[in-house]
Amino acid sequence: MNVVQQAAPFLESIDEEVLKGLSGRSMLLTDDWSAEEIETVCNVAATFELLDRQGVPTHLLTNELHYALFFDNSTRTKSSWAGAAARLGAHPMVVDGSSTQVAHGETAEETGAMLGMNSHALGVRHDLILGEGNKFMRAVKAGIDGYLRDGHESRSVPIVNLQCDIDHPTQTLADLSWLRERFPDGLAGKTMAVSWAYSPSYAKPLSVPQGLIMLMTRFGMKVRLAHPEGYDLMPECMESAKKHAAESGGSFTVAKSMDEAFAGADIVYPKSWGPYDLMLERVEANRRKDSEGMKDIERRALERNRAHTGWICDERRMKLTNRGTALYMHCLPADIGAEVSPGILEQSRFSLAREANKKVYAIMALLAVAKVAALRQKLHGLAATA
């Protein structure tokens, strides 16, 4: 089967009217996009992956500059942004947020205007403080849009959320792409356990589990959430998951234990996050610029975590899943021996690498649907050259 034949199911599933509606769009939350728009991004991402694996150049955005601004550490997302930009023929520029003037009082709108002067796309990671990250991204977008409008420029500079306090869209889109490949007959009716797991390293953001419950419930999946007392997620994310499950014919439930969440599950996603009340405390400490207070909150969060060391994805729990063969997923890096046993991680090493690799193509797709005219035809043309 040639590349045109392989790509045909994905390209034929792209609705031209949906694609037109994505021109210039920023991805700030998956909840801002319809299920049809999300599926379009996944189909474009799958096409890019097919072309890339055949060595077909996909330089659809040549001579562009794609900034990414990171206020938190990253390995996979930074490299995925750079890899996506380079594959599209653009020049990636990754900027450490601490090296900007934001810490010295520059507003998000000013930062957006300054970066928007020179860039053609902008990714932002700002995930550590509840109520701050997504708000910052929207203000950056307003600054860029204002600069372009005042200069009468037609240039489009979409923003891509590379993880905020609410959501991690490029991660969950990569996860969705991996699930679509692993379950080609469809995701409706599949049971996914999104569970808290113990971590001794640091109080991690809530955005990955929140993004998962908001996105996977849109496709008829039976999503179960499990966590110890005190590790709640943001109420608006919980409400969104309930709404999507009702609309898609799936379900969203909160299990009383990790065992209950894993029982009969087709997919498991055990992942640590910080205690909700302490994450809220961190908001005020950050606002006061109280560095000692921030350290104390982190210490108390890890102390709280230690009361739940039994929340681990191990061989016993995996046997509780559907035929004992559930797909193990994680955004990585996983805390080995804490979030997951060494044996389960080793069994899943190749699968996890494939899951992580999907992020490159998810980012490529988000940039391409926002910026490339006649994208479907151009992708078909590229496939024909393979």
Global pTM reads 0.96
How far is Cα 11 from Cα 50, in angstroms, rounded to an integer? Answer: 12
Is 190 within 8 Å of 160 (Cβ atoms)?
A: no
User: Which residues of the chain fall short of a pLDDT of 50?
Assistant: none
- Predicted confidence at residue 101, as pLDDT, reads 62
**114-125 residue pLDDT tens:** 777 889 999 999
Hey, which CATH number is domain 171-355, 3.20.20.70, 3.40.50.1370, 3.40.630.30, 3.30.450.40? 3.40.50.1370
- Predicted confidence at residue 110, as pLDDT, reads 84
Q: Do domains 3-167+359-384 and 171-355 have the same CATH topology?
A: yes
Is 328 within 8 Å of 348 (Cβ atoms)?
A: yes
**10-68 residue pLDDT tens:** 999 999 999 999 999 999 999 999 999 999 999 999 999 999 999 999 999 999 999 99
**92-137 residue pLDDT tens:** 999 886 766 666 567 878 887 777 788 999 999 999 999 999 999 9
- Predicted confidence at residue 118, as pLDDT, reads 86
Cis ω on the peptide bond leading into residue 333 (within 30° of 0)? yes
- Predicted confidence at residue 235, as pLDDT, reads 98
Q: Structural domain boundaries of the chain?
A: 3-167+359-384, 171-355
Q: Say which CATH class 3-167+359-384 falls into.
A: alpha beta
